[in-house]
Amino acid sequence: MNNCNLIKKNWNGKNLITVIDQQTDSHILIAIHTTQNGRSAGGLRMKRYDSREAALSDVLNLSAAMTQKFAIANMKWGGAKSVIYLTRDLDENERKQLLIRFGLILKNLQGRYYVGPDVGTSSEDMNIIYETGKPYVFSRTIEAGGAGSSSIPTAYGVFAGIKTTCKFIFGTDQLKGRSILIQGLGSVGQCLQNLLEQENAIIYYTETNQEIIDQVSSKGINAHFIHPEKIYDREYDIFSPCAHGGILNKNSIQQLKCKGIVGAANNQLHIEEDADFLKLRGILYAPDYVVNLGGAMGITSIEAEGFTEIEIIEKIQSTIMETLEEVYITANADDTNTVKAALKIAQKRLKYTIDF
Ligand code: PHE
């Protein structure tokens, strides 16, 4: 399933810190891919993996994606990521103590790595990490003095990505009557649904978490549920993966009936070559880190640079619209896939400082 030996060999990052947390049998992995002015940033993913190899390959891949994300966003931050690989279920107190110990590691890194939330962690968790890891923590709750959840700026960015992609495919960015399937109606997915509803799009969603499905029906959210096994039965204008990575693989691409893919999930492609397969199938793919940069860009700009929320949402949307257009035009001009086109642009924008 995972090609992690290959990835490990190819990972050209700066530091990998691994700590085994004896008290909880968890593995803490921090991958600093690049630094800019001695700093890097990236989210903390906390979950059960099938193996340590799978956790390691995830953290390495995600750290490299953060470098590209900040480069594309023209932001002077290096890319990093951390993973806490849980090998067993933890009770609330054990989890809290683990986050406090994570904060101590962060403190020892003295700003080389700044953490933010990601899959399996929240702004409340950032509050806990801050107790020991201060000040190297992004996205604490607003009550605690942070900028709050990164879901809202992320969703605004994905929304802008959907509009740009529709303009490219259909010649108009009007979303009225466009059919869109959102995979995963978590906090980003719900916010995106809301934005799409205001434009009168026809919204479908698929979800595996029964709690969220119940919540959606009790809240009367305007979206038609599609069973995860039935997502390939229908045609959609846009498919929006907002759950986990690796969902675009040979098998799913073969079956998907959509014209474009624009979603918030990180590392959506199972392997790089899947981008060629999408092109071959005539599906326009918006590279994940281009359209999901809103969270990291929004939070770091508000907390480290003093932008207001309104200012930064506008900046996120214009950055994504302009960049994505450049990606699509470059891909056409070079007759290449959109991932290669995005990489070319990211490399052009990457401004290395003399950093070690
Ligand atoms: N989860 C965010 C991402 O993948 C990480 C992040 C959030 C980084 C907030 C910094 C601040 O982009």
- The pLDDT tens digits for 89-100 are 999 999 999 999
**Mean pLDDT score, 273-292:** 97
298 lines ligand 1 (CB under 6 A): no
Q: In the numeric block, which tokens belong to residue 313?
A: 């949402």
Q: Which of the four pLDDT bands, split at 50, 70 and 90, describes residue 301?
A: very high
Q: Which of the four pLDDT bands, split at 50, 70 and 90, describes residue 4?
A: very low
299 lines ligand 1 (CB under 6 A): yes
Position 211 pLDDT exceeds 50: yes
% the chain with pLDDT above 70: 96
For residue range 319-350, what is the model confidence (pLDDT) as tens digits? 999 999 999 999 999 999 999 999 999 999 88
DSSP reduced 3-state for 226 = coil
DSSP class of residue 87 equals S
Position 5 pLDDT exceeds 50: no
67 lines ligand 1 (CB under 6 A): no
Residue 116 phi/psi, 5-degree rounding, is -140, 180
Q: Which of the four pLDDT bands, split at 50, 70 and 90, describes residue 352?
A: low
Q: What is the mean pLDDT of the chain?
A: 94
- 297 CA to middle of ligand 1, Å? 8
- 105 CA to middle of ligand 1, Å? 19
The closest-lying atom of ligand 1 relative to the alpha carbon of residue 293 is 12
116 lines ligand 1 (CB under 6 A): yes
- C-alpha separations of 283 from 183, 234, 291 in Å: 17, 15, 16
In this predicted structure, what is the pLDDT of residue 354?
Answer: 57
In this predicted structure, what is the pLDDT of residue 14?
Answer: 94
**Mean pLDDT score, 41-61:** 96
Query: Which of 1-5, 58-62, 217-221, 263-267 bottoms out in mean pLDDT, i.e. has the lowest?
Result: 1-5
Please confirm, yes or no, whether 134 is among the known catalytic residues.
no
**Mean pLDDT score, 225-243:** 96
In this predicted structure, what is the pLDDT of residue 10?
Answer: 82
Position 3 pLDDT exceeds 50: no
The neighbour count for residue 61, using CB atoms within 10 Å, is 21
- Are the beta carbons of 29 and 85 closer than 8 angstroms? yes
Position 9 pLDDT exceeds 80: no
In this predicted structure, what is the pLDDT of residue 219?
Answer: 87
DSSP class of residue 266 equals S
In this predicted structure, what is the pLDDT of residue 236?
Answer: 98
In this predicted structure, what is the pLDDT of residue 220?
Answer: 84
In this predicted structure, what is the pLDDT of residue 327?
Answer: 98
Q: In the numeric block, which tokens belong to residue 222?
A: 């305007």
